[in-house]
Structure 1
Amino acid sequence: MPRLRPFLALAFALVIGPAFAQDTQRVRTDKVEVIVETVARNLDHPWGLTFLPDGRMLVTERPGRLRIVAADGALSEPIKGMPRIAARGQGGLLDVALDPNFPQNRLVYLSFAEDRGEGRAGTSVMRGRLDEAGSALTDTKVIFRQEPSHTGGNHFGSRLVFDRNGNLFVTVGDRFDLRDQAQNPANHLGKIIHIRPEGGPAPDNPFLNRDGTRPEIWSIGHRNVQGAALNPATGELWTAEHGARGGDEINIPRKGKNYGWPVITYGVDYSGAKIGEGTKKAGMEQPIYYWDPSIAPSGMAFYTGDKFPAWRGSVLVGALAGKLVSRLETDGDRITGEERMLRQLGERIRDVRQGPDGYVYLLTDSSQGRILRVRPADQ
């Protein structure tokens, strides 16, 4: 066979390379050797993942598609009933969550960058009823709209987490160009939102009767929160938040508290310029953990399963720029150690979920994204 000329060889590798991503890799971590295997492939920038009661998966693709993934990795046709999605920049179809009473009501919740017209967009949340065939969402309704909308294409957030009372936490970004507005309680920019499942502020929110303050707000002073999970031990929300250059944070957002952005931060601007007033200020909360340099944290999950006993109680956080999974060891509300795992994959990790089988599932962020399953090598 003749040798390919260098430029043809490069083109050949670029075209077919992702299709030959390894289906199975054995990886050594500090605590356990694992097998990472491909469950599904050929997803276009998958963003959010959740499990249906029968073990199949619902997965979002940022360009605007929602699919069901079977146990053998087969992808359904895109589910019908999607809203008007602004699939540009960092925007698109984002997270997905099931109603706590899904087996009875079949309600699915989606966060997305909503096209508001005239080039403007904002993070919104929609719910709809998944039909029995799994082919369409019906009775759809937008239950939250971030205000104001904006023409920029960055920092939409967004994760969806139900609390123990059945109300919904929604993380939204500061929209990048409007970062100073993260300190303004009159809008939804750079906030943690807490709403009822049908829409409207949750009844325990801190600003329900304060003039000039959005009643849906739970906490303020956030940059771009793309990871969120409920701590199973306490029922409190934990979040993973993008910093600028440095200053990625893990926070426990508590009601009515101010988490500082952009007044305080452990990062600097992309130009290297200082942001805000420093790292601490009275009346503003400190992160419980931060990264400098940034790893660009995304989806997160508390590990509670029985397949990885040495990981139980850890927080698993995907990293985009870092191309890894950060395993954070915890003691109550403290982070006591970090292990940076799965760098051998060379993948931007967009989401991390614990499956009903106790294994760990990852979404890789690329135009030929995959769903990966992590299991112990000795099983």
Structure 2
Amino acid sequence: MHRIAIVDPNEASRESLRTMLLGVDFVWLEAECARYEYFFDVVQQSTPDLAIVALDGDKPKALAMIGQLGAEYPKLSIITISSDSTVLLQSLQLGAKHFLTDPPSLEAMVTTLRKALHEVPGTAERPGLPNAQKANGQIISVLGSRGGIGCTSIAVNLAAALASWPENNVALIDLDLAMGDADIAVELPGNDNISMGDLARNIERLDMNYLRRALVKHPDTGLSILRHPLELHEISGIHEGHIERILNLVKMSYTHLIADLSKGLLPTDLMSLRMSSTILLVCQLELSSLRNVVRLIHSLSMEGDLGDRIRVVVNRTGSEHMEDGITVKKAEEVIGKPIFWQIPNDSKAMIGSRVAGMPLIKHSPKSRAHQSVLGLAQALTGRTPVAEAAKKRGWFGS
């Protein structure tokens, strides 16, 4: 999907243009601007694949801005819109690649967009594009076999571990819409931030600028977090279509998305699972948890290839009161799938981290729990060979 930025000082025509673009399934309206003098900064920050400039708001300013864009971004494809043929010709001379007569029809817009985007080089070929936008973001969903099993702790600490590597740009999405507490596990600045509920209410106007305001950055780790709805009544207004649109947009600017799911396997959770490259199914070595693992694997295997994406993670291994005398080997026999990773019971580090509102990488970086989560991050991304990590730490399942 290609990213588009638009500028039009006229609110009515800008709204019409926005509505038209939202109906085109191969583009994403990443940013919009109402002032020509600010649009250069918008392009610089959002690095769109294509810019659309409505010229008639102030023709001299618009033409001057196109000249600046053409000089600084010669590979940026620019489409201009005007009712004045002379101004359209001038825009082509200054660097625009295509034009449309105002008001453009949907058919003419789609045809011109296809022509313009056909000329856009691949993102890997465009110099200056941030690493976060070179790759299509990897979505990792964290699903628990029951409540209280430590999914949020794993999701938060896995996301923080991934965010610690400078080449990564990581977002944590709290999809436990009713009872999510990722924003407590990682204490965030301020309490007036945009939540998932706000995004759902304004989904038709959602662009990258609005999303960036919603994704609150944790200052100590660089991890960005999208909070669950602040009010319970907002949950009914959020459906799977909202989640699909939000995750698709986040993927365009982040290398990794960690989704902390609810325990109800709601339609919103299923959408995240369908969009995920990896599903971490978290359990413990006790009967009720393993029974639910079997049920979940069976259910998700009926959803196309979702079963193949599941990686079973055993949490709190070595905790005697948590285990029913079940070994890892026995657990693998029961679920019919190998254990991908084991995280040791390290209640002191985990509880201390939780109370402090800090991820393990900042609170207890030498703890066994953090070292295991770090190994999990490496195994999921191929940063170090899995066999090497397993041999070094001894936490990897067969």
TM-score range (shorter-chain normalised) is under 0.3
Greater CA radius of gyration, 1 or 2?
Answer: 2
Scaled by the length of structure 2, the TM-score of the pair is: 0.25
* Structure showing the higher strand proportion among its residues: 1
Scaled by the length of structure 1, the TM-score of the pair is: 0.26
